[in-house]
Structure 1
């Protein structure tokens, strides 16, 4: 008896009469991929349309479910372009297309690698699980590249579901958000459009009282102030008037001291200044030191000052200095994760072939040690601007026993783009992840006070001097997310890669030709 050979599935080219239909179908799928990426972009802050993200990913999943790896790569690249091109537009605000479009293309390629792998596992049982794990693996590789990228959770940081759910996974449930969703409005993230158009801050809000024992072991409460002094102008040359920036923050702190003296606002226990609030080294310049001393004595409490220090070898350091009214500078934290193409310039000679903007990038020295400040009754962990995007940097700083997190930042380089809102979304996720209140102090906005459940207590507008004064809880309990760190993600990546390997092996076996029957079988 003659055995039949297993039939192989092959893809035949469409007949001539079917080719127009095939082209229309291909164009429709390409448009769907682009639309899916655009939907995910539109889910990011400052827009409140967080619900578009699941729709965008659902469109991508429909395309990948029965696609081959090559088609999956193409769909992913188009999806990545639809998401990353508008999402990263702020990178080219003052340098043009030379930074923006290549970065968006690289990020889209990283998305495409993930989606090609997802297409490979499309015929495995439980495909949605493996797809999610391989997407996680791809985004982890993107973050390892240290380039500006995307984390999907940012797009849903203002949703009424994600932040409370993350809080329940840790030690600090967001019961207030869950029980009273009307109190957590997307508009709290940004000033009302009319107020922003008039160039003034959103109306201030009184601090909500946080019960010391609610949501985790408490370390008490303190009153904290975030100073936003503003800058003379936006753009790459915002720091050309470094003394004006310093004077703005001194002046706004002195105004706060006057408000405290008159009883209009409570006296803070700790004041946070932004990154680059003193680009003049106060150790080398007596006038800058005197100005900071004057502000600290006026308010009468410690100030964390974002300064650029110059080492003896002339290399600068981006450093936060703890400055007290009694002793002046008493402690320092130097930024450990430097921003490429700004504080450092990789492959400077190569990129100079395309633009001379690379010569504006500096050569900062990175810090090496995590630090916690003992100030104003709090143990303060600092994540300077770009550092808030990196899990390990924030975790090691908080791991030294921090009860409060500060994020001094400088977004003036990016003007009125969406960059500041994307960063604030990261700050909100960090608050929930570590169960700590987060104080965001920006030179030009948006500054904000974030509660441990991720909700915005108060915030400022863009490019306006302001001061936020709020009562915040100090937390000592550690969340599950903090204790586990990157291990859950590592396990997910390992399982996803194992599923990919299994799919590749299964596919190879299916393509292997069946063995020819021997003579005895043929007879």
Structure 2
């Protein structure tokens, strides 16, 4: 068991290199192959330990950025919870590998694991899904056809077919596994030559403002007034450049999350600053604001601020971050005094989640908004796209992570979303990275970290849905059903073999069992 766990743990560490900042995506199938081999032919408890080792190796490295930014306690707690999912899947793997077509069953179970841990417990953590890691590879165009979940399935299936090839005892089994892997890979890269594109419904010119954060740049609360003023100044300067003919006049302007880190409806100076900026540029600004919601709660909102009518429609962040923007079980924890210490003491009020499904209308354009981590979740974007959104915006404040790899990881996720949805994405960050991403995932323009900058680009607007949006959502439900069915089938086979077996060789739980023994379907 020790060797299996060590091998799985090392594979987990290597898997983290498939994502930013190293971003060698081709490592993913190899790492998953090791995961499958480490959980093959053993009892469920051994599979759990090996899978847990994989999860610890992967997730503790993948989100290490939480430790220096949010705190070591939050990093250890979150990474530990996420690692448990890989352990549970390891136990499931030992059962599913009793089935003859186990690479497919296990790949579906992998998708189940990814989608469950992305939403639970509390708000979940979607970082580290395989589909987010294929940017700049031949698999990336497949996101438009099968979505993030479908690409995760393909990558997992390739890895598990490779494991089947290694575990096979006969030439026929090896040839079958190799042939299946070649077919899956060949089909998966067809979108490279046949990319899915939506029909353009028009175009618009969008300006993305990155005002920069005062001081070191890692705390938006150090100088709240200065933070908003930076965005006002950058927008007023943009207006001057437009008047001088140096840049085209935008139809809409995007400010980032926390561009007003204090309620703009209660703070007169911040309110006045927004009014100055919006009147100077003469077009609507999507302002990112923290808005009071009583003594105990706040809202994280994107507010459409019109130069004539003032503040109007709002989008409220769907997925506040547990222990970053709200404290689950606050009453229980308060009795221990922990909420008065460290990072938790910086969260005196809980952020309330939003549920808006209609896109915002900005300058007559239906816009799907996402605030920071929202971009990694499936539900909010899909709801707004279902109601006709033609452009995507991401308002984010990465200041807390400005010296970490989280910045590039989130930008890569955003690029994956652009391909999956078939739309341009305008990203506004307080101090990096901001930019505009095309529907094929290419970066049209981007800023540097810790700078004040403005990006102005004319982009096409698109209507309709890519196949990937529907496939990804349907595959999530299919994977749940397939995992339950596969585990039930595997358990029935185990019980049947235990009742009918008279010799140790036929025991399907034996570590040295040949891959074909006890397998069916």
51, 73, 97: which is aligned to 1:98? 73
Match of 1:167 in 2: 144
Q: CA deviation at 1:391?
A: 0.8
Q: Is 1:478 paired with 2:455? A: no
Match of 1:330 in 2: 312
Query: Structure 1 CA distance, aligned partners of 2:218 and 2:276?
Result: 29
322, 335, 340: which is aligned to 1:340? 322
Relative to structure 1, the CA distance from residue 95 to residue 387 in structure 2 (aligned partners, 3 Å threshold; closer, same or farther) is closer
Deviation string 1:218-249 (CA, Å, 9 cap, x unpaired) is 11111111111111145774313110110011
What is the TM-score normalised by the length of structure 2? 0.81
Query: Structure 2 CA distance, aligned partners of 1:430 and 1:410?
Result: 18
Match of 2:283 in 1: 301
Relative to structure 1, the CA distance from residue 365 to residue 101 in structure 2 (aligned partners, 3 Å threshold; closer, same or farther) is closer
Q: Is 1:433 paired with 2:433? A: no
Runs of at least 5 residues in structure 2 that lack an aligned partner in the other structure? 148-195, 503-521
Q: Which has the larger radius of gyration?
A: 1
CA contact (8 A) 2:201 2:460 kept: yes
Deviation string 1:194-232 (CA, Å, 9 cap, x unpaired) is xxxxxxxxxxxxxxxxxxxx9222111111111111111
Match of 1:443 in 2: 430
Deviation string 1:423-477 (CA, Å, 9 cap, x unpaired) is 2222122212221111111111111211112222111111111111112110012
Match of 1:148 in 2: 125
Q: CA deviation at 1:168?
A: 4.6
1:118-517 residue pairs with structure 2 within 5 A? 118-145=93-120, 146-169=123-146, 215-233=197-215, 237-311=219-293, 315-348=297-330, 349-350=332-333, 356-357=341-342, 358-361=344-347, 362-484=349-471, 486-512=473-499
Query: Structure 2 CA distance, aligned partners of 1:155 and 1:319?
Result: 26
Relative to structure 1, the CA distance from residue 266 to residue 215 in structure 2 (aligned partners, 3 Å threshold; closer, same or farther) is same
Number of residues of Structure 1 aligned to a counterpart in Structure 2:
447
Q: Secondary structure at the match of 1:70?
A: helix
CA contact (8 A) 1:98 1:354 kept: no
Instruction: Judge which range, 81-90 or 366-375, deviates more.
Output: 366-375
Runs of at least 5 residues in structure 1 that lack an aligned partner in the other structure? 1-25, 171-213, 516-523
CA contact (8 A) 1:43 1:52 kept: yes
Q: Secondary structure at the match of 1:477?
A: coil
Relative to structure 1, the CA distance from residue 124 to residue 272 in structure 2 (aligned partners, 3 Å threshold; closer, same or farther) is same
Instruction: Please report the RMSD computed on the Cα atoms of aligned residues, expressed in angstroms.
Output: 2.2
Q: CA deviation at 1:332?
A: 1.5
Query: Structure 1 CA distance, aligned partners of 2:198 and 2:228?
Result: 38
What is the TM-score normalised by the length of structure 1? 0.81
CA contact (8 A) 2:287 2:303 kept: yes
Query: Structure 1 CA distance, aligned partners of 2:253 and 2:85?
Result: 41
